[in-house]
Structure 1
């Protein structure tokens, strides 16, 4: 994904650029949507902003005008060269890198300005792993405004009992307060994707919603139970916890994973640690 400047604003000397399928590029070009995103972010000049996948720079220009500290992460070398030419002399730090491997903590430490504000129109083919990568840096991030495929956005913000509620919901909401801001139709992009997109705001929590003894255990537990989402906890936690141990955590062994809230997952995770069981790492859905 990415952003594209209005045709009337193209920079002299820069050749037209065509989106590349291998990077999942769909450039947002609707000025009204772009302005709506900027308004939702509500930047202050002192904010340190990180834009992932700037594309052709339509949003980048507005971010640069609003923030004194703007970093952009772009994998496509040709796009990076265009951005370097267009924004030379501006308050923009260009990182030609894969966001999936990018060390956001090092970026924050280098600026000595915490926390980061992240914005991006994410490629659909990597949006979930990229979100998990970003969540690993929640300690240096204030908030994120990210564009996802609507189906993924619905999973991110889903509540217990909702059909979209799953591993992505639990692990994202463990770190953040999640809010879907608005949907964006295919016509707002060039080339248009086959699906509707959604803008999501993720505001990092100052503290976890419930105490856990080991966050790694929590992640493995959540992955485990949602790999058998229609089974009861009694069945999908067999070998991890006995029904009595599930009850001791204050959870019904007959409940299904999709009905549990964050606090219940935390108590189950702590019970796994207290039981001292040795289990293989669960595979994510």
Structure 2
């Protein structure tokens, strides 16, 4: 039996908020479109802000750079515990508002513009920020390449923070490659409802800390990184097969036995500490 014809409802077709997350229905303003263009989500929950500040652990008198100061919610709390704060904000619509909000904070200097375009300071410093998720990778790279960086505390997507810190039971190439110089930690989790506009995922507090003494001598770091990159190359289907392409088979197999790594183990399954031991055993003279 044919189905009866159903008249279309023009109000249903033209309603742009239909089927949207109710927490985002009001986010169709020009300002919110700018927020999306800059991949911005602002911390508004005070408990979440306090949790980020506790993870920072500032050094008295040290310069701290805030990435993506936004509306200054985090900036004002940081200013109470940091000696000197340099706050970057790339969105020109927010800089005037940020200046007004921080006018009574003499230890805060505003830096309108792109943090990624700035050169790192010549003095020891720390980085902190509720960073745009879309810029996470370049901001992390900037921090890793800044020779005077002491620590970075970054609010990222929870998935990114867990992946980089081994919280899934697997380790990434970037983490293992830089492990001799930097400690990677998941310093906490923040619910997505702590942000406005509300993002689709929860956030993690990623803590990067430069080690006072590298775990591998600087002169040996390039060799360590080449070994790790070879191990992560995936050639042969296992770390053992990949490493055998660049080092004597007997030496590789003996190092795997000594570290109790299965011969069929994948690169991401090996802890950073085990990579250090593999490097020392395989390259020993």
Uncovered stretches (5+) of structure 1, i.e. residues with no partner: 1-15, 276-285
CA distance in 2, matches of 1:206, 1:29: 35
Following superposition, the deviation at residue 257 of structure 1 comes to 1.7
SS at match of 2:179: helix
Out of 203, 227, 231, which is 1:225 matched to? Answer: 231
1:178 matched to 2:184? yes
**Do structure 1's residue 190 and structure 2's residue 196 form an aligned pair?**
yes
1:74 is aligned, of 64, 72, 89, to 89
Structure 1 residue runs of 4 or more that deviate by more than 6 Å after TM superposition: 270-275
TM-score after normalising by structure 1: 0.73
2:216 match: 210
Distance 2:69 2:75 in 1: 6
Partner of 1:94: 110
Show the 5 A alignment for 1:1-150: 17-18=31-32, 19-43=34-58, 45-88=60-103, 90-104=106-120, 107=121, 109=122, 112=123, 115-137=124-146, 139-150=147-158
- Contact map agreement 2:85 2:109 (CA 8 A) in 1: yes
Inter-partner Cα distance in structure 1 for 2:205 and 2:169: 20
In 1, the alpha carbon distance for the partners of 2:178 and 2:251 equals 26
- How many residues in Structure 1 have an aligned counterpart in Structure 2? 249
**How far does residue 263 in structure 1 lie from its aligned partner after superposition?**
4.8
Q: TM-score, normalised by structure 2?
A: 0.73
1:7 match: none
SS at match of 1:251: helix
Could you tell me whether the CA contact under 8 Å between 2:88 and 2:111 is conserved in 1? yes
Contact 2:42 2:195 in 1 (8 A): yes
Taking a change above 3 Å as real, the CA distance of residues 64 and 93 of structure 1, as seen in their structure-2 partners, is same
Change (3 A) 1:273 1:55: farther
Q: Please point out which of 251, 270, 279 is paired with 2:256.
A: 251
Q: Give 1:92 deviation, angstroms.
A: 1.9
Query: Residues of 2 paired with 1:42 and 1:24: CA distance?
Result: 27
Larger Rg over CA atoms:
2
Matched, 1:158 2:173: no
How has the CA–CA distance of structure 1 residues 274 and 120 changed in structure 2, closer, same or farther, with 3 Å as cutoff?
A: same
How many Å separate the matches in 1 of 2:80 and 2:220? 42
Q: Where in structure 2 are there 5+ consecutive unaligned residues?
A: 1-29
Kindly state the Cα deviation for residue 94 of structure 1 after the two structures are TM-superposed: 2.3
